[in-house]
Structure formats: structure tokens, C-alpha cells
Amino acid sequence: MATAIITDILETLLKSSNTTSFPAIREKAKTLALEKGLPEIKEEEYKFTAIQRKLEKSITDFSTAKNISLTTAHIQDALPEGYEGDFLVFNNGRVDLELSKLSKQGYEATLLSSSASDLFGTIAKNEKDVFTAINTSGFEDGIHIQVKKNQKVEKPIHLLFFNQTNEGQVIPTRVLIEIEENAEASFLENSISLDETPYFFNQVVEVKAAQNSKSHYAKLQNESRQAVSVSNFETNIYRDAVFSHTVISLNGDMVRNNLSLNLLDSGVEGNMYGLYLLNGKTHVDNHTNVDHTKPNSDSNELYKGILADSSRGVFNGKIFVRQDAQKTNAFQQNNNILLSEDATINTKPQLEIWADDVKCSHGCTTGQLDEEALFYLQARGIAKDQAKGLLLFAFAGEILEHISDEPFKNHITNLVKERLGSNI
Amino acid sequence: MLTIKNLHASIEGTPILKGINLEIKAGEIHAIMGPNGSGKSTLASVLAGREEYEVTEGEVNFKGKDLLDLAPEDRAREGVFLAFQYPVEIPGVSTTNFLRTAVNQVREYRGQDPLDAVKFLSVMKEKMKLVEIDQKLLSRSLNEGFSGGEKKRNEIFQMAMLEPTLSILDETDSGLDIDALKIVSNGVNKLKTSETATIVVTHYQRLLDYIVPDFVHVLYNGRIVKSGTKDLALELEEKGYDWIKEEADAASV
């Protein structure tokens, strides 16, 4: 069964895609994907996320989505108010350099097909997740961003993914980010559904954070209620580098985020923050993975969820501490508030520690709104609904604090406040 | 101002208040004393509208309105203020933001214009002096990491900001040292006018040296078993609660 679907997908996808670059890598990925098939519900990694069934139902045509007509008006609408940084436009997954604004001050941005970087495909491994293999074999062209050695890119680079398909098609997209030694940069991402037609967004982002670099990637997921989205975000972090990732998930049909930080040397700091604010039937699954391979590196992870209606959240946080990785500090926390009896959260920390001199902690909580705090606010004259909004926003706000670009942060804050009914 | 008639309340089916009668007029200070578990804090909570308690009988009239019919926020807007025995810590909500929201919702209910940021700040500065509270504390998350004394001062500060007509101080003295007790009492006394009333719930007489009550009521087993003047509090301090319990137990047999 699985084989039939994967064959369908790949054949239709490849027939409709123009995939001339990286022929050898793509061919290998295709073979791998065909062997592996789509993840079934009995597979541990996709136990709570029936992605195969969802794809069968939502995606009627597995061909690659064609370009849509994009104008500067679309971009103006999508950029946060007051945003001053650069932006990179993706039209159904393909890079549109014409519509993008790239100052290229301190960095280079080239199409993957022309950069032909040796790094491509070496960070995100095809064997790790079948959707990476599908992406590798079927994406048309992507972007390679290179932040140059010793350069600080002052303003963020905003990746804007505009998505719209006819009858549920596939949108593969590929990004390779290289932050060279001592460089600093920050990236923002937003996916915008231009209508309510279903599509399958299949993203792979590879990041190399070289020695002593500092970078941050903040991502907003606020797609249509029909969007099925799988992202594989893989990061290799080298000596004394700091890398942080923040993801805010607000909307979608089924969203799966695989995020991996590979701490490949000492002195590394890797941070992962996430907020999922779900309602309706939205399903968001965050699978994170941090791999400590060398001594004296730190990782911090905090994911928070507020789930209403019959939404479902999944959190799986793996921490590996290899035998070499003495003096590791690894912290992980996942806190959830369920606002409805029909909402579900499946949360699972997974620690595998081979080193003996480490500090690791993890914890998760799931509960309702704090009634005592609610009463306290009411007793001061604040209406119950507003008091709820205030408390929920206070819970969520801790994650938003990690977004450093003010316009982007304000944009997300407004969406969050609107969702929580808190206009304070 | 406040009339409580035959008030019965229970929590999870267990009766705690078993027929409270109390009349409070503007300008008065009433102390409610009693041994642990007598129902003092329950009375305070029921008046403020805490939902866990179920009122099974009786009525409470506040300024001509049926208090029990109002949501907790509307009681606050009508002018009831409860200073919590255990003020709640709320991470992520700054005291200043929270109070501005509260003050403006109360003002809106009372038909007053909202205070803008500048005006709010100047009112705040003025009231801060009353309880000697530091502005730094107010920019932090509400009560988070505050010491016991700071939390209680913050309660009285909120009271000053909200200008209630009936203040209920629920064991405000518990956990306070003498200096903090003086500051808190001083604040309460300064806020007192002939238009407002205060209920002081306390286990100890000590607080009543600073906030001098017009009446003292002793609560035992869910009923007011004895009422008197401030001398009653002194007597309790000296003799403890046992004689009250014995009297009450004898009377109820």
C-alpha cells in the first residue's frame, strides 16, 4: 500500500518537475524514498500524526504546483508593518529573485542550481526522513544563502513562501543557509496561503552555523485550514557558535516540524523555542532533536502549547548526549494548557545519555487555566474573558520574547492576542 | 452598606458557614476573629465571589444590590475589594499593566473616563507613597518572587488604586514583621473615609493595635458567637479562644 502511494507521488512529482541540478544526489534520494515509502501510523516517529492518510485525502494531484501570479501587493500584504530588512520571495516553492529584495550586504544569495554547493544534501540526510528524500528528488530550484566570514548582517532576511495550488498539489521547496566563521545573521519565515485550497508544502532547510557564528531563525506557521505541511530543518553547529530557532504555529490542517540541532563541537549554544496555539481541528507535531557530540556545549528547549476545540498537539523532544560530550548542559521543557475536553496533547521527552558528567533536565506539564489566578484578576474588576486572555497571553508571551525583530514580533503578537481574545 | 442575613455556604458539600448575620455601615471597621477553621476566610471569599463556595442559604445586600447575584468582577466594580491572604503570583503579567486594565475596567463600569498612560502613572506614583512600594517592583511580573511583605503591600496598593467602598482584609497580617505591619496598617488607615467600610479578618489581636476596629466579632464553627468592641479582641489575646469555644459549645447543646 505504502509503496503504491510513494510511487504515485514520486512519478507524478518528477514528471512535472524540472530537476536537472544535482542528478546523482536526486537519483539516490529517489531510490531511497521508493524503498522507504510513506510513514505509516505504526511507525514510532509518526505514531500520532497520520500523515499518509492525510495526504491521501487532501492531495488529489501529486504534481508540482505551477507558478502563480504574484505581485508586489502580495508582498506588501505579507510583510510585517514597519519591516525594514531584506526579503526572499518563493512562488509555490520556487525562488523569485525579481520580486525579492536582497541587499546582499554581508551575504550572497544564489540559486541552488547555479551555486552547486558541496554542502547541499550533506546536512539534511535523506535516510532520516522520507519527506527529505522526496524533497531532494523532486524540488525544482532553491536558494543558497551564504553569510560571509566576519560579517554581521544587521537586518533580518525574511523568507516569504506564497502558496496556492489548483487541486491539492505538492509544493517542494529547498533552502541552504551557510553562516560562515564569526558571522551574524537572522532569518524570518512566513508561509502564506493565498486561498483555502489544500496543498502539500514539503520544505527542507539545511543550515551550517560555522565556528563562532551567531544566528537566529524565527518561523511563523499561519497557513490555511487545508494546508498540509512538512518541514525538515537540520542544523550543523560548530565550535563556539550560537544558533536559535523559534517556531510559532497558529494555523494549518496538519503540520509536522522536524527540527534537529547537531552540536558538533564544544562551546556551542543551541536554543529551540516553540509556541503552538491551536483551535478547530488543526494538528501540529513538533519533533525536535538535539545531539550533543562534544564536551561543554549547552542546549535549551522550551515549547508551549495552548489547545482549544478538537485540536491536537504532539511534542517529541529527543536529547542525545554522546560519550564524548562531558559537561553538557541540556534543558528541555514542554508546557501545555488544554482549553477544551476534546483537545489532545501527546508529549514525550526522550533522553539518551552516554556521558556521565552532564546536567540534563526535562519536564512537561499539561493542565487547565489556573483558576486561582483567574479569580484574582476578576476580584480586581477584570472581566472573566479578558482575564483568561491576559493569563493565556502571559503564558504564551515567554516564547514571543525570543523573536528579536520588532516588526515581526509585533505582527505575531497581534495574531496571538487576537486568537486569545486578549487586547491588553 | 452591607447586610448579611443568615448566610450559609459550603465547599464540596461540606457546610462551612452556618448562618452569619452582620450589618456594616459606612465609616465602620469590623474585625472578624476566630480560631483556625472557624470560617473567617470562607466568609471573605464568599463575599468576593470565589466560585468553589456554594451559598446554600441566606442573602447579602451591598449598597442596595444583591451581592451574591454578581460576578466577581462586578462585585469589584461595585466597590468590594478583597486583599488576599495568599496573593497569587502571575508570571508574565506586569503589575502596572494589570492594574491599568483593572482600574480602567472599574472606571468604565462606574461611568468614568479611562485614565490614559500619563494620568495613570501620576495616580500610581501618588498611591505608591501610601504603602511605600517601589516602582521597580511594579514593573515586574505580578507578585512573582515578591517577599511576603511585598505581596501584602502590593495588595494594599491595589486597594488604593481601585478605591473600594468595602475592603476586606483577609489575614493581611499573617507573615508580616512589625515594620511591614505598620506600613500596611498605615496605608489602610490613610485610605479610610467616612464613606468607606473595612472588614479585617485576623487570627491575632496584634493587627488591631494599628487598625482599630469599631466592632469585633468572633466566628466559631461557621457562626458569629460573640460580638463586642475592641476590648473583646484584647480579652481574646489574653485568654485565647477556648473559653469562647466552651461557651458556644454549651449553648448549642
pLDDT in tens, B141-197: 999 999 988 999 999 999 999 999 999 999 998 888 888 899 889 989 999 999 999
Three-class SS state of A400: helix
Asked if pLDDT for residue B131 goes beyond 70, the answer is yes
Residue A3: its pLDDT value, please? 55
Chain B CB contacts of A402 under 8 Å are: none
Span B222-251, mean pLDDT? 88
**What is the structure's pLDDT at A1?**
44
Nearest CB to A378 within list B73, B98, B109: B73
Give pLDDT, residue A164: 95
Give the Cα separation of A193 and A92 in Å (integer).
Answer: 10
How many whole angstroms separate alpha carbon B100 and alpha carbon A43? 52
Q: What is the pLDDT of residue A229?
A: 97
Whether chain B has a CB inside 8 Å of the CB on A415: the answer is no
The pTM (predicted TM-score) of the whole model is 0.89
Q: What are the backbone dihedrals phi and psi of residue A344, each rounded to the nearest 5 degrees, phi first?
A: -130, 145
**Residue A423, pLDDT above cutoff 60:** no
Alpha helical stretches, state H, B22-175 = 40-48, 72-78, 95-109, 117-130, 135-139, 148-162
Average pLDDT over residues A343-366: 95
Please answer yes or no on whether A382 and B105 come within 8 Å at the CB atom.
yes
B90 with A375: Cβ contact below 8 A: no
Name the CATH topology of B25-49+72-252: Rossmann fold (3.40.50)
| Average pLDDT of span A230-243 | 98
Please, are residues A336 and A305 in contact by the beta-carbon 8 Å criterion? yes
Q: What is the distance between the alpha carbons of residues B89 and B74, in angstroms, rounded to a whole number?
A: 22
pLDDT for B120 beyond 90: yes
Phi and psi of A301, rounded to 5°? -140, 125
Distance of alpha carbon B48 from alpha carbon A378, whole angstroms: 9
- The residue with cell 487570627 is B203
The pLDDT, as a whole number, for residue B84 is 95
Q: Is the pLDDT of residue A424 over 80?
A: no
The answer to whether the beta carbons of residues B166 and B79 sit under 8 Å apart is yes
Q: For B184-234, what is each residue's pLDDT tens digit?
A: 899 899 999 999 999 999 988 889 999 999 999 999 999 999 999 999 988
HSE of A168, CA atoms in CB hemisphere, 13 A = 15
Q: Is A416 on the interface with B (CB under 8 A)?
A: no
| B83 vs B143: CA distance, rounded Å | 13
**Complex confidence, ipTM:** 0.95
Q: Do A380 and B98 touch (CB under 8 A)?
A: yes
Q: What percent of chain A lies above the pLDDT cut of 70? A: 98
- Label residue B136 by pLDDT band (50, 70, 90): confident
CB contact under 8 A, A381 and B109: yes
Chain A interface disruption, residue of B88, B108, B140, most A CBs within 10 A: B88
Question: What's B114's DSSP letter?
Answer: P
Grid cell 554581508 is found at A106
Interchain proximity B88–A384, CB inside 8 Å: no
pLDDT value at residue B253 = 60
Mean pLDDT, to the nearest integer, of A79-106? 96
Instruction: Put the strands of the sheet holding B2-11 in their side by side order.
Output: B14-24, B2-11, B53-62, B65-66
Predicted confidence at residue A319, as pLDDT, reads 97
C-beta atoms of B48 and A397 within 8 A? no
Give A 317-376 residues with CB within 8 A of chain B.
370-373, 375-376
**How far is the C-alpha of B144 from the C-alpha of A104, rounded, in Å?**
45
Average pLDDT over residues A157-181: 94
Phi, psi of B105 (to 5 degrees): -70, -35
Q: Least CB-CB distance to B101: which of A371, A382, A397?
A: A382
Q: What is the pLDDT of residue A4?
A: 62
What mean pLDDT, rounded, does chain A reach? 94
Tens-digit pLDDT profile for residues B69-88: 999 999 999 999 999 999 99
Chain A residues inside the 8 Å CB shell of B88: 370, 372-373, 376
Q: Which residues of A33-64 are buried (b: 16+ CB within 10 A; e: fewer)?
A: bbebbbbeeeeeebbbbbbbebbeebbeebbb
In this prediction, residues B35-52 reach a mean pLDDT of: 92
Residue B47 — pLDDT band, cuts 50, 70, 90? very high
Residue of A nearest to B93 (CA): A394
Which of B86, B98, B110 is best to mutate for the A interface (most A CBs within 10 A)?
A: B98
Cβ–Cβ below 8 Å for B98 and A390: yes
State whether B97 and A378 contact (CB < 8 Å): no
Best A382, A386, A393 residue to mutate vs chain B (most B CBs within 10 Å): A382
Please check whether residue B171 is in contact with residue B203, taking contact to mean a CB–CB distance below 8 angstroms: yes
pLDDT bucket at A422, cuts 50 / 70 / 90: low
Share of chain B above pLDDT 90, in %: 72
Query: Residue A375: its pLDDT value, please?
Result: 96
Section A227-256 average pLDDT:
98
> Would the pLDDT of A29 be above 50?
yes
Are the beta carbons of A377 and B87 separated by less than 8 Å?
no
pLDDT at res. B132: 86
pLDDT of residue A201: 96
Separation in Å, CA of B29 to nearest CA in chain A: 21
Q: Which residue has the cell 485550497?
A: A197
Residue A167 pLDDT > 80: no
State mean pLDDT over B107-113.
94
Minimal Cα distance from A395: which residue of B? B92
Write the pLDDT tens digit of every residue in A40-50.
888 889 999 99
B109 neighbourhood in chain A, CB within 8 Å = 381
**Measured between alpha carbons, how far apart are the two ends of chain A, in Å?**
52
Q: What is the pLDDT of residues A110-165, one digit of tens each?
A: 999 999 899 999 999 999 999 999 999 999 999 999 999 999 999 999 999 999 99
pLDDT at residue A234 tops 90: yes
- Residues belonging to chain B with any Cβ–Cβ distance to chain A shorter than 8 Å: 48-51, 71-73, 75-77, 81-82, 84, 87-88, 90-93, 97-99, 101-103, 105-106, 109, 141, 158, 162
